[in-house]
Chain A
Amino acid sequence: EVQLVESGGGLVQPRGSLRLSCAASGFTFSSYWMSWVRQAPGEGLEWVANIKQDGNERYYVDSVKGRFTISRDNAKNSLYLQMNSLRAEDTAVYYCARSFVNRYFDLWGRGTLVTVSS
């Protein structure tokens, strides 16, 4: 089955860190750009980061630059998001998404909730 499964979310204090993981299966993971997209409670969608197939190109939304790092391990069919210096405004469901022609998101995981609160 073609799927993405996120893990690693939870409650973290402001200025804390968290690492999200996404396990891909059912498709050739190494052939696709991959992305993280988030959605704050009751809000819309926000693209967070993209990473190229070989990991050599990465792009971020300005609000997370310098704090978040997207990475991947093609041997493990896994995508990661290292989140440091977390803020209350980072509270959201984080979705792992497969990037279609590096412009859209054609396969999504179920999401993992990150709550930043003291």
Chain B
Amino acid sequence: DIQMTQSPSSVSASVGDRVTITCRASQGISSWLAWYQQKPGKAPKLLIQTASSLQSGVPSRFSGSGSGTDFTLTISSLQPEDFATYYCQQGNSFPFTFGPGTKVDIK
């Protein structure tokens, strides 16, 4: 199975800050990576798929990059509604696996 790791596990930031989250796969997954946002008590929301393709309706302050084993999610200017937990997920092969999550909270 492909193991996914994320760093940091949590980050405290202020509105307007640039936030970068890193995701690493235990083996190469090409660009088959997605990012999700989850708020407490809610279902996850797909933000980015295939490493860098923004889902329809997702603000352009979110961006993704990377390929192979190393990926990043960047929020260019953090907004109040962005405080949440972010997960990466590999779609390269079964079983699909998620990273442990990165919690973005208010500084």
Which applies to chain B's interface (DSSP): helix, strand, loop or mixed? loop
- From known contacts A50-B94, A59-B94, infer whether A44 and B43 are also in contact, taking CB-CB under 8 Å: no
Residue among B1, B32, B96 with the highest chain A CB neighbour number at 10 A: B96
Which chain B residues lie closer than 8 Å to A60 at the CB level? 95
Judging by beta carbons under 8 Å apart, are B55 and A45 in contact?
Answer: no
Which chain B residues lie closer than 8 Å to A59 at the CB level? 94-95
Judging by beta carbons under 8 Å apart, are B95 and A61 in contact?
Answer: yes
Number of A positions contacting B (CB below 8 A): 22
Which chain A residues lie closer than 8 Å to B1 at the CB level? 62
Judging by beta carbons under 8 Å apart, are B46 and A44 in contact?
Answer: no
Judging by beta carbons under 8 Å apart, are B101 and A44 in contact?
Answer: yes
Choose among A47, A106, A111 the residue that contacts B46 (Cβ–Cβ < 8 A): A106
Residue B99, interface by CB 8 Å: yes
User: Complex Cα distance A110/B91, Å?
Assistant: 22
Choose among B49, B87, B92, B101 the residue that contacts A100 (Cβ–Cβ < 8 A): B49
| B69-96 near A? 1/0 per residue, CB < 8 Å | 0000000000000000001010110111
Which chain B residues lie closer than 8 Å to A111 at the CB level? 43
Which chain A residues lie closer than 8 Å to B91 at the CB level? 101-104
Which chain A residues lie closer than 8 Å to B21 at the CB level? none
Residue B97, interface by CB 8 Å: yes
Q: A101-B49, A104-B46 are in contact. List 14 more A-B contacts (CB 8 A).
A: A44-B87, A44-B99, A44-B101, A45-B98, A47-B89, A59-B94, A61-B95, A95-B44, A104-B89, A105-B44, A105-B89, A106-B49, A106-B55, A110-B43
